[in-house]
Amino acid sequence: MCLEAIEATKIYGKTTVLQNVSMNVLKGEVHGLVGRNGAGKSTLVGGITGLVTLDHGHVIFDGVKLEPGNPEFALKAGIAIVPQQMSSFRTLSVGENLFVGRLPMGKHGLVNWTKVWEMAETSLKLVGLDIDPRVPIATLGVASRQMIAIAQALSRSAKLIILDEPTAALAKPEIDRLFMLIKNLSDSGVSIIYISHHLQEVFAITDRVTVLRDGLSRGTFQTSEISSDDLIREMGASSALTKRARKSDSHSSDSDLGKSAVVLDVKDLSKENAFSQISLTIRTGEVVGLTGLEGCGKHELVQTLFGLQGATSGSAEYGGASSVAKRPKEAISRGVGYLSQDRRGESVFEKFNVADNLTMTVLDRLQNKWGLQFPSKARKVAKDAIKTYSIVCTGPDQIVGTLSGGNQQKVALAKMLQSGPSLLLLEEPTQGVDIAAKASITTIVAEACERGAGVLLISDEVETLLQVTDRVIVLYKGNKVSEFDTEDLDGETLIRAIEGINA
């Protein structure tokens, strides 16, 4: 036995994100770890690597109980992780990155550069890289930098390497090379935990696979003995989720949608290295979902429509113009509202109070002809918004950063909706909030549609897509591969499309 996690549990506030999860990894095994976003994979890996302190349970590695919350102890024991978002010192050389913090020293306390380059060449050969260790790492592609990260792990004599979405930015030849390396490492006795949303890869490379769902373990299975349908079902797309709950008297019928005005008409829109020839239409009163695996191009598409990124070709008609907005200011002037997935970084100003946040998009309405603001008018607007959007706070003066995540998200939505946009671009509006806040947010979106807005809703949450949207568009590796009417859509079919199975 290489690794054993026993009853791993982690609780944040009132939310249990990992509950009594047990998993073992054998020596030389390639062990898959799968589950939808929010299933608990990152928390479990954090517990294994010491980056997360478990509230209950423990981890045994190579016969030794790991110290909780001590990543240095786990690293020295032989556990290494190659994260999805790799970090490196881009101005330093490959060799310096390989041995950062442990460069060999010579006489007089100076770095022995000859030894650095020799050690680097040896480490690079272990992963099949024939490059000069003196070149800046910034000059290399993603695939090479990923191999260097694995080489760094091997240079530390790692016995277990955790690969988190390792193929997200790789082309087919690079994936093949990575798989060959994984096989060689496995044959040499190194254990691998392989985390991926690409189930085809899980079936191709792993010996066993552990499934997490809603912070619970659904079990560990021999990969050769479980079908893709059964694995998808274990991940949380059972028939119980097939019934769509969004339809109600407050929403337009399908026949009404067909007669309503078009608020967004995208034709063959492309952005190099992100997405290709995307076409879609959104009408007033309609919620269209957009989903796909990480790296599929969905976020780049939305940011392009809002003017944060530039398109390579194609067109988009919205707000009376037939071209893509070149800047956010232009998009806003066309009646577009945008909610970023980075709530704290881009959607709210945490150090400002609720009133300042809620009135930020309507300051022109709160000024007289000389540009002077009326604080009393701003407070009234804020109080009305707090009531309308059910924002739980002590009042307009409360600092937004002190609110719960769900109420911060409601402030972000309310701020955007204050200007009355006709097209809403929403990135992960219900991600990371509790059930009550999620229900409130989906109600806010539904009411915006009832007032005539059209919505493009980007989400990784299958349940949200099934319950909230009229249609769902699926992107896979930058291409539009499926479009479903959610009235008759079930979770298994949607997940198969998202995973690229039969795409």
On the question of pLDDT at 415 being above 50, the answer is: yes
Comparing 2-11, 167-176, 475-484, which segment has the lowest mean pLDDT? Answer: 167-176
pLDDT value at position 202?
92
Percent of the chain, pLDDT > 90? Answer: 49
* Number of helices followed by number of strands (H, E) in the chain: 17, 19
Structure confidence by residue, pLDDT tens digits, 479-500: 999 999 998 898 888 988 988 8
Average confidence (pLDDT) over 195-222: 92
Structural contact between residues 453 and 423, judged by C-beta atoms closer than 8 angstroms = yes
How far is 193 from 76, CA to CA, in rounded Å? 18
What are phi and psi for residue 261, nearest 5 degrees? -75, 150
pLDDT value at position 369?
60
Q: How confident is the model at residue 280 (pLDDT cuts 50, 70, 90)?
A: very high
Q: Which residue has better confidence, 179 or 431?
A: 179
Percent of the chain, pLDDT > 70? Answer: 91
pLDDT value at position 255?
53
Q: Which residue has better confidence, 121 or 381?
A: 121
Q: Which residue has better confidence, 119 or 84?
A: 119
On the question of pLDDT at 48 being above 90, the answer is: yes
The interaxial angle of helices 142-155 and 113-126, nearest 10 deg, is: 110
On the question of pLDDT at 44 being above 50, the answer is: yes
* Strand order across the beta sheet in which 208-213 lies: 79-82, 160-164, 191-195, 30-34, 208-213, 216-222
* Strand order across the beta sheet in which 275-283 lies: 275-283, 262-271, 313-317
On the question of pLDDT at 434 being above 70, the answer is: no
How far is 25 from 17, CA to CA, in rounded Å? 22
Q: State pTM to two decimals.
A: 0.67
Domains along the chain? Answer: 3-238 (3.40.50.300), 241-335+421-498 (3.40.50.300), 352-419 (no CATH)
On the question of pLDDT at 205 being above 70, the answer is: yes
Computed over every residue of the chain, the mean pLDDT equals 87
On the question of pLDDT at 146 being above 50, the answer is: yes
Structure confidence by residue, pLDDT tens digits, 115-144: 999 999 999 988 888 899 999 998 888 788
Buried b (16+ CB within 10 A) or exposed e, 359-396: bebeeeebeeeeeeeeeeebbebbeebbeebebebeeb
Joined together, the tokens standing for residue 84 give 């999805």
Cβ-based neighbours of 76, under 8 Å, separated by 6 or more: none
* Span between the terminal Cα atoms of the chain, in Å: 38
Joined together, the tokens standing for residue 215 give 């912070």
Angstrom CA distances, 209 to 32, 220, 222, stand at: 4, 5, 6
Q: Which residue has better confidence, 260 or 365?
A: 260
Structural contact between residues 47 and 41, judged by C-beta atoms closer than 8 angstroms = no
pLDDT value at position 260?
78
Helix (H, G, I), strand (E, B) or coil at 140: coil
Joined together, the tokens standing for residue 6 give 């026993």
pLDDT value at position 373?
62
Cα dihedral 249, 251, 255, 257 in deg (nearest 10): 170
